[in-house]
Amino acid sequence: MSIASKILIATGAVVVIAAGGVATLAVKPPELLRVGANYGAKIVCSNVFIAGRDGQAVLADDVQAPGHPVLKYLQVRVDQQRKTVRAQFFGFVGDGMAVYRPGTGCAVAPDGDVARAAQYQFNPIKIWAPSPNVPWPTGSLAETNPAVQALLEQDVLAGPGVRGLAVIHRGRLVAQRYGVGFTAASPLLGWSMTKTVSAVLAGMQIADGSLSLQQSGFWPPGDPRAQITLEQLMSMTSGLRWNEAYGDVSDVTRMLYLEPDMAGFVASQPLEQPPGGKWNYSSGGTVLLSRVWQRAAAGGDATSATSARVLSLPHDRLFAPLGMSSAVMEADARGNLVGSSYMYATTQDWARFGQFLLQDGVWQGKRMLPEGFIAGMQQVVPASGGQYGQGQVWRYGPAGDTPEGQNPDARFQLPDDTYWLEGHDGQSIAVVPSQQLVVVRLGLTPHRLLYQPQALLAAVVKAVQQ
């Protein structure tokens, strides 16, 4: 089920309007409708101004087609001059608004303060696009393995709604495929794969000495939450109360679409469990992790944490060295990088990040992360039942129709050292160190279709071993 479907399925909007509540809806729409309108505005904004797509096509294909029928009443208006997108149901309900900023992409402005949201930007340094005549990763030239390429052309393995596929073997691009209307130059949203990027950015601050895994004190002294460590934020064992469900106005939908200061909202959550105990998947925790490393990079100064200098660090210190010329990590309306959910990059650039992980944080001979940091990210969080790693990675691939509590990778006989980056609507990167293999899969594939990229990965593993 798509996010749009999840956040609107309980609205009953059509019933309310038919009952004569038009004036009330216009003046004070239900929060769930505001969530839907802001979601639509955000998706269209990012795809128009980052990916260069047509706004009406994005509305139809990415928002309405996979979502709840109520979404067919959502209308969007793109203002190319002001770089804004407004979304409303029936043209007057919900009033979703998003604004594009150079360097930091699009932000929802749920409080209507577009001018303030627009302040959080920077001018990216130029990253030259990879040459089509130079082999990947320095360029974009593939060294095609026909057997692997043939696997990617099989629709049942690629999965419904596929938009980008890439296979990296021994540091070379050996196969790729793109969906209709998409190319190697199309930036695509990674959703929660962004979480792993956030963990790496925190690791860079550890390398600088401004953070440590055992560091705490991210709340004022005496606050029981002040005992939460960076390691616990990384492993999703902070103990903070958090509801990641998408069927209503939950913590995660409120954070993403109703709160201008996402990190501030998460920081206001109370402790529900002792830190370090229960594992609870939390996009909010990763947004808070982003605020922690931003403040560390600013020397502890909360104001400077959202300065252009700090906001540009993902671009300057990670994307530029790796040659990820398309990559954009978006910030919210108060300058918090939305490290849980909002990063766009081309399929090949996502593959560059996967290869960086495979190479233990080393790129072109230069170590960019502490030695052993990537290995630590892969270590299983015991409280997760074996499914999650210490550094915002998954030890299992997507569940599909696998019964709860079982390993969804088991029936595919994947190498034991396989780990995953996973994102909503079918985004995944599989990293297999023992095979020197990275497999990227991006698309628009709602969970209800039960697609599992493990079948593709298993076939690719066999092909490269021959």
* Domain endpoint, select from 83, 101, 119: 101
Residues 244 and 302 in one domain: yes
Assigned token pair, 290: 């982003």
Q: Is residue 117 part of a domain?
A: no
> For residues 211, 213, 219 and 223, what is the CA-based torsion angle, rounded to 10 degrees?
-150
Q: Give me the residues of the chain with pLDDT under 50, please.
A: 1-2, 4-20
Nearest residue to 3 (alpha-carbon basis) of 38, 54, 48, 46: 38
User: What integer pLDDT is reported at residue 70 of this predicted model?
Assistant: 85
The letter for the amino acid at 333 is A
Q: Is residue 382 part of a domain?
A: yes
User: What integer pLDDT is reported at residue 29 of this predicted model?
Assistant: 74
CA atoms within 13 A on the CB side of 421: 31
User: What integer pLDDT is reported at residue 67 of this predicted model?
Assistant: 77
Residues 233 and 333 in one domain: yes
430 strand-pairing partners: 420, 439
228: how many CB neighbours lie within 10 A of its CB? Answer: 25
Q: Is residue 126 part of a domain?
A: no
C-alpha distances in Å from residue 190, one per residue of 104, 179, 270, 429 = 15, 16, 29, 10
Which residue is associated with the tokens 């009952």? 19
User: What DSSP string runs through 142-198?
Assistant: ----HHHHHHHT-HHHH-TTEEEEEEEETTEEEEEEE-TT--TT--EE-GGGHHHHH
* Domain endpoint, select from 55, 84, 101: 101
Residues 212 and 331 in one domain: yes
Nearest residue to 354 (alpha-carbon basis) of 455, 440, 422: 440
Residues 208 and 336 in one domain: yes
Are β-strands 437-443 and 343-345 bridged in parallel, bridged antiparallel, or unpaired? unpaired
Residues 213 and 294 in one domain: yes
| Longest Cα separation, the chain | 67
Q: Is residue 63 part of a domain?
A: yes
In angstroms, rounded to a whole number, what is the distance separating the alpha carbons of residues 198 and 437?
A: 22
Residues 340 and 373 in one domain: no
User: What integer pLDDT is reported at residue 27 of this predicted model?
Assistant: 58
> For residues 30, 32, 36 and 37, what is the CA-based torsion angle, rounded to 10 degrees?
20
The residues, ordered by sequence, that sit 6+ positions from 87 with a Cβ below 8 Å of its Cβ are: 37, 38, 40, 41, 44, 74, 75, 76, 77, 94, 96, 97, 98
Question: What is the C-alpha radius of gyration for the chain, rounded to an integer number of angstroms?
Answer: 21
C-alpha distances in Å from residue 39, one per residue of 78, 117, 272 = 14, 16, 28
In angstroms, rounded to a whole number, what is the distance separating the alpha carbons of residues 97 and 77?
A: 10
Q: Is residue 110 part of a domain?
A: no
Residues 20 and 81 in one domain: yes
First to last CA, the chain: 38
Residues 356 and 429 in one domain: yes
The letter for the amino acid at 382 is P
In angstroms, rounded to a whole number, what is the distance separating the alpha carbons of residues 76 and 44?
A: 8
Are β-strands 162-169 and 105-108 bridged in parallel, bridged antiparallel, or unpaired? unpaired
Residues 225 and 286 in one domain: yes
List the CATH number of the domain containing 217. 3.40.710.10
Q: Is residue 406 part of a domain?
A: yes
In angstroms, rounded to a whole number, what is the distance separating the alpha carbons of residues 282 and 266?
A: 10
Residues 177 and 262 in one domain: no
Q: Is residue 115 part of a domain?
A: no
Domain count, the chain: 3
Residues 147 and 51 in one domain: no
Phi and psi, residue 17, nearest 5° = -65, -40
In angstroms, rounded to a whole number, what is the distance separating the alpha carbons of residues 142 and 138?
A: 11
* Domain endpoint, select from 52, 84, 101: 101
Domain of residue 14 covers 3-101
User: What integer pLDDT is reported at residue 11 of this predicted model?
Assistant: 43
Give the rounded distance of the alpha carbon of 389 from its chain centre: 17
55: how many CB neighbours lie within 10 A of its CB? Answer: 18
User: What integer pLDDT is reported at residue 23 of this predicted model?
Assistant: 53
Q: Is residue 462 part of a domain?
A: yes
Residues 17 and 61 in one domain: yes
